[in-house]
Amino acid sequence: MADAGTRRLRRVSGAAVLAVTWLGCCTALFAAQSRLVDASAADPTLLIELSYATADNFMGETLYDDDRCFLRPGTADKLKEANAFLRMAGMRLVVCDCYRPLSVQKRMFRRFPQPGLVADPRKGSNHNRAAAVDVCLADNDGLRLDMGSGVDEFSEKSRSDYPGLSPEALKNRRLLNDAMTWAGFTSITTEWWHYNDPDGRKDPVMDVAIKDLS
């Protein structure tokens, strides 16, 4: 049996390990937060229309305290590349969601616990890592194009492999996919508008308010 001195030493060692782990975690988290960039500053030609900064979304309430789009630097670079690709075709990217605080993810999941449509906050969404975007297409005048369903529409039409699209919507989805994958994003089957930056999948999940980012 360990004597009192040994037990005390173990407690102190355990506390030190916890402190170092916490410090390492939080240092990485603060570093990730401080690196985030405003996508519209990186590319002023992006159309930033965050639906969660208004009440016009599937939750029916304003969830964000700021309408700026923050992303990890590499993700913002990819978005700029995708937009440049589309502008050559006479179109523009509309960005409907970027970084999303974890607390907002929890609110969404409480209301709609549907993995595949709303990510489980225990795992975190790539939006919480500032490494995902929701996007659609607009023409040069900023008018949104027919994509076959609305962004965040909970129906079969939202699937990227939905077979009943009009030729126009199919063409637009393919063009969006070409631009985003060319820039380095990956798509998912359940939501045609959602694209992940694979380089950010190991970044920390964040819960800082958007208004507090600069």
Contacts of 178 (CB under 8 A, 6+ apart): 85
Among residues 61, 81, 153, 191, which one is catalytic? 191
Residue nearest to Zn ion (CB): 194
CA distance 141 to 144: 9
| Residue 129 interacts with Zn ion (CB under 5 A): yes or no | no
x/- mask, Zn ion, residues 191-210, rule CB under 5 A, reads: ---x----------------
For residue 195, give the 3-state DSSP assignment: strand
| Residue 134 interacts with Zn ion (CB under 5 A): yes or no | yes
CA distance 45 to 85: 12
Min CB(96)–Zn ion separation in Å: 8
Q: Number of H helices and number of E strands within the chain?
A: 5, 7
| Number of amino acids touching Zn ion (CB under 5 A) | 2
The one segment of 20-28, 102-110, 126-134, 203-211 that binds Zn ion by CB under 5 A = 126-134
Q: Which pair of structure tokens corresponds to residue 167?
A: 């030729």
191 an active-site residue?
Answer: yes
Min CB(127)–Zn ion separation in Å: 6
Catalytic residues: 191
Residues within the interface to Zn ion (CB under 5 A): 134, 194
